[in-house]
Structure 1
Amino acid sequence: MVRENRNDIISLEEKIAWLEDIIERQSKELSDLYDKMDKLERQFKVLYSKVGDPYATRSQKDEVPPPHY
């Protein structure tokens, strides 16, 4: 009986260690994804500030004719 309990405890400790490792790796991966998302948001803001709103309408007089005219 004592031996069975000891084996059960060891098995549970192994499972807990495995789960802790999984959680730690997923936490790091999630943190990395948030960092990448922040970087992409900053890049998008820079591009948006350079290009402007692509859905905004411009008047024809603001359009520069192509160089072949």
Structure 2
Amino acid sequence: MTFDRSEEITEALHDQEGLAIAMANIIAGLDLPSDREHVLLALIRAQDQCRDRAIVAASRIVQSGKEKRGR
């Protein structure tokens, strides 16, 4: 069960990547002052790093589940 949920979590985290790209594109299309645009894009990059860490953790759980099933 943990294995299946980890795969779902990993998929959802990958979906968030598309959302982050869409937000960055929208922000780039707005006529914001440069400093505000940079702050918003930095926040998106920080969220991307957090998401990447979560993907690694979930992937480890998935791999562990696969190894246990293979035994």
Q: TM-score range by the shorter chain?
A: 0.5 to 0.7
Higher relative contact order (CA 8 A, sep 6+): 2
Structure 1: gaps spanning 5 or more residues: 1-9, 50-69
Question: Sequence identity, in percent?
Answer: 5
Q: TM-score normalized by structure 2?
A: 0.53
Aligned partner of 1:11 among 33, 53, 64? 33
* Structure in which a larger fraction of residues adopt helix: 2
Structure number with larger C-alpha Rg: 1
User: Superposition RMSD on alpha carbons, in Å?
Assistant: 1.4
Q: TM-score normalized by structure 1?
A: 0.54
Q: What is the Cα deviation at residue 14 of structure 1?
A: 0.3
- 1:43 lines up with 2:62 in the alignment: no
Aligned residues: 40
Q: How does 1:1-69 map to 2 (within 5 A)?
A: 11-49=33-71
